[in-house]
Amino acid sequence: MLLDIVFNGFNGLIVGSFYALMAIGLSLILGLNGVINFAHGGFMALAAYFAFTLVPYVGFWGALVIAPILAGGVGFIVEKLIIQRLYTRDPLYSLLATFGLALIIQDMLRTIWGAQGLPLAIPDFLNQPVSNTYFFVTGYRLFVVALAIISTAGLFAILRYTRLGVRIRAGNADLETIAALGVNIYLLRSANFVLGIMFAGLAGILAAGQLGLTPTMGDQLIMPAFVAIVVGGVGSLLGSLLGGLIIGVASGITTAFYPAGSEVVIYIIMGVMLVARPRGLLGQEGLLE
């Protein structure tokens, strides 16, 4: 039994870092743009489909780099056309707008690429288990974990050491002031949105490598990402990482005891967190009240 828990826990960490990657983009957008991006899953799927189309030309690695950028481009257009008008309004409107956007994206994916599931080819050497006892640790899963860590670190570095990063952090604290100080907040918000979408794109491609592509794939990925942010703490990227890991592990361990509860448990954790400590583990108090 103990072995079961350890196995499942370890495995949960792997799944969790996957959730974390998804949550990071969502958290970025929630932070500076103040938008609950219900279309996040849609962008994840969009990037995956772009990757699918690109792989025959540039291979998996090329697609991994280019597809998120393409998705980011679409995100840029969306931000300029739609989201930008909604900043001054109640968060309800941007939520509904992204909700509608999610519907449109899913439909467009189905119309353009068809309803059938499509496989995304990942490099063969990644497709093997690393060892026999730890058979569930495949090269690919390690790769996902590694990428999650690297990109979070990379994002952290951007936020810490680049001008863009400093501005994003300052903007999170007080947008009006930095606008007064001469920062182009329109551009800043666009850049932030695109960055968040690119993370979604990355997560989407990695997911597709494991799960394949369907037009509805965004739906099942968005809720855990949501929960990860709330648990880890809004406004904290390290928190999103942590949140993702926690719900991954919780879900994994619950599967060992009571598989039927493995989804409900993440909502229970979220519920408890919201009631007891709504800022989340590492979030800032009152950030979104």
Partner 1 sequence: MSNKGIGRRGLVKTGAALSAAGLLAPTAGFAQSNPVKIGQIDSTTGNFAVLGQSQIAGAALAVAELNKKGGILGRPVEIYVEDDAGSPSTGLDKAGRLVDQENVDFFIGTVSSAVSLSLSQFAAAHNKVFMCSGGHVDKLTGPSCNWATFRVCSTTWILTSGDSKTLVEKFGKKWYFLTTDYAFGHSEQADYTKQVTALGGTIVGGALVPVSTPDFSSYLIQVKEAQPDVLCLLLAGDDQINAMKQITQFGINQTIKVGGALFELEQIAALPEAARYGVWTFEWYWNQPGVPHVADFVKRYVAANNGKYPSQRSWFGYVSVHALALASEKAGSTDAVKVAKALEGLVLPPEIALQPGAPAFRAGDHQLMLGMFPGEVIQTGTYPNLMQIYGVVPGASLALPESATGCSLTYPA
Partner 2 sequence: MSEISLPREAGAAPKRDMRQLYMLAGMAILLLLVPFWIPLVGGYTDLASRVLIYALAAMGLNLLLGFTGGLSFGHAAYFGLGAYGTGLMLDYVTSSTLLAMLVGVLTGGLAALLLGPLAVRRRGIYFSMITIAIGQMFYFIAVRWNSLTGGEDGLTGYARQPIFGIPLGSVQFYYLVLIFFALGAWVLWTILDSPLGHTFVAIRENQKRLTFLGIRVDRYIALSFAISGVICALAGSLNSLLDNFVSPDDLKYTLSGNFLIIAVLGGMRNFWGPLVGAIIFVLVQNYVSAVTQNWMTVLGLIFVLSVMFFPLGVLGFFRRRSKA
Binding stretches for partner 2 (CB under 8 A): 30, 36, 82, 85-86, 88-97, 99-104, 106-108, 111, 223, 226-227, 230, 234, 260-261, 263-264, 267-268, 270-271, 274-275, 278, 288-289
* C-alpha distances out from residue 139 to 61, 82, 123, 144, Å: 15, 40, 10, 9
211 contributes a contact to partner 1 by CB under 8 A: yes
Instruction: Give the pair of three-digit tokens for residue 137.
Output: 């640790």
Cα–Cα nearest to 207, from 12, 13, 51: 51
Q: Smallest gap, in angstroms, from Cβ of residue 2 to partner 1?
A: 13
Q: Which stretch binds partner 1 (CB under 8 A): 145-153, 194-202, 253-261, 278-286?
A: 253-261
Task: Check: CB of residue 238 under 8 Å from CB of residue 13.
Answer: no
Instruction: Give the C-alpha separation, 238 to 236, whole Å.
Output: 5
Q: Smallest gap, in angstroms, from Cβ of residue 159 to partner 1?
A: 29
Query: Could you say which residues in the range 270-289 bind partner 1, by CB under 8 A?
Result: none
Instruction: Give the C-alpha separation, 132 to 76, whole Å.
Output: 45
Residues 6+ apart with CB under 8 A from 92: none
Q: Which stretch binds partner 1 (CB under 8 A): 7-15, 155-163, 176-184, 274-282?
A: 7-15
In sequence order, the β-bridge partners of residue 213 are: 118
162 contributes a contact to partner 1 by CB under 8 A: no
Candidates 88, 90, 116, 182: give the one binding partner 1 (CB under 8 A). 116
Binding-site size, partner 1 (CB under 8 A): 42
156 contributes a contact to partner 1 by CB under 8 A: no
CA distance from start to end of the chain: 43
Report the residue number, 80 or 110, with the smaller CB distance to partner 1.
110
